[in-house]
Amino acid sequence: NGKDASSSIDPIPKKEKVYYRYYHLFKEGELLDIIRESDHATIVDSGYDRDNWFAVIQK
């Protein structure tokens, strides 16, 4: 058949790496309060998008 024996053997499946994520959905004002309390950044922009609050900050 022109194929060597190794070409008909299925490769051993590699174990997939699992990544865990943690999400926190902020309440209105919660994220901005945390940033203001830090005194290490200035809020450039903020808003609400896709069911969560966001902030663009500058150090």
**What are 49's strand-pairing partners?**
52
pLDDT digits (tens, 9 = 90+) for 21-46: 888 889 999 999 999 999 899 999 99
Torsion, Cα of 34, 35, 40, 42 (10° steps): -160
- Higher pLDDT: 17 or 56? It is 56
pTM > 0.75: no
